[in-house]
Structure 1
Amino acid sequence: MLFHKISLNNFRQYYGEQTIQFQASNEKNVTVIHGENGAGKTALLNAFNWSLYGITDLPDSDKMINNYAVEKATDGRKVEMYVEVEFESKDVQYILRRSVSGTKYGKELQNMENSILLQYYSGGQWKKLSNPKVEVNRILPENLRNYFFFDGERIDHLSRHEDNEEIREAVKVIMDLEIIERGVKHTEDVKKEFQKEWASFADEETKQLLTQQDSLKSQRQELVGDQSQIRQNIEYRTNQIQDIDNQLALVKGISEKQQERKDIEEKLQSQKDALSSTQINLRKTVSKQGYLAPTHLLASKLNEKLSNIDVSQKEPFPELTKSLIQSIIDKGVCICGDDLCEHKTENLKKLLETVATDNQNASMNTLKTQIDMVLDNRERFLEVLKENERNEYQFKESIVDHENKLEEISAELSNRQYENVPDLEKNRRAYLDEVAEYNKKLGVIEHKIKDLDLKIQEVNTQINKQQQIQEKAKLAKRRLDTCEKLTSVMGKIYSLKEEEVIKDLQEKIQEVYAQFLRKGFKITLTNDLHLEVRNHYGERVALSQGERQITSLSFIGAIVDIARKHYQKKSSDIISEGGIYPLVMDSPFGALDSDHRHRVAKGIHSLSEQIIVVVSTSQWKGEVEDAFSPYIGNQYKLSYHDPRQQNGDEAFEYTEIKRM
Structure 2
Amino acid sequence: MLFKELVLQNFGPYVGRQVIDLSPIYDEELKPIILLGGMNGGGKTTLMDAIRLAFYGQRAQCSTRGNLNYSDFLEQCVSRQVKDLEETVIELAFEHIHDNDKVTFRIRRRWTRSPKNGKDELEIITDKWVGDKSLGETMTKTWDERVEQILPLGISNLFLFDGEQVKELAEQESPPSQVVEAIESLLGLELAERLATDLETLINRKRKNSASKKELETIEALEQKIDQLREEQEELEQEVKGLEREKIKAEYLEQQASDRFMTEGGKIAAEQMELAVEEKHINQQIEAKRQNLVQLAGDFLPLVLISPLLEAAHKQGRKELRVKDALIAQDVLLKRDEKLVAYLKDIALPSAKFKKIQAFLQEEQELIKQDLDPEFKSWLEVDAKTLAALDGVLTHKLPGQKEQARQQLGELDEQLEELTALEQKKQRAASPEAYKLLQIELQEAQKNLSQMVTEIEHKKKQVEGLGQTIKTLKKELEDYSRLTLDRKVNQDFIDSATKVQNTLTLFRERLTLKKLNKLEMEVTECFRYLLHKSDLVHRVAIEVDSFRISLYDPRGQAVPKHRLSAGEKQLLAIAFLWSLARVSGQNLPIAIDTPLGRLDSSHRNNLVERYFPAASNQVILLSTDTEIGAAEVEQLRDQNAIAREYLLEYNPKEQRTTIKSGYFF
TM-score, normalised via structure 1 length: 0.49
Q: Which is greater in Rg?
A: 2
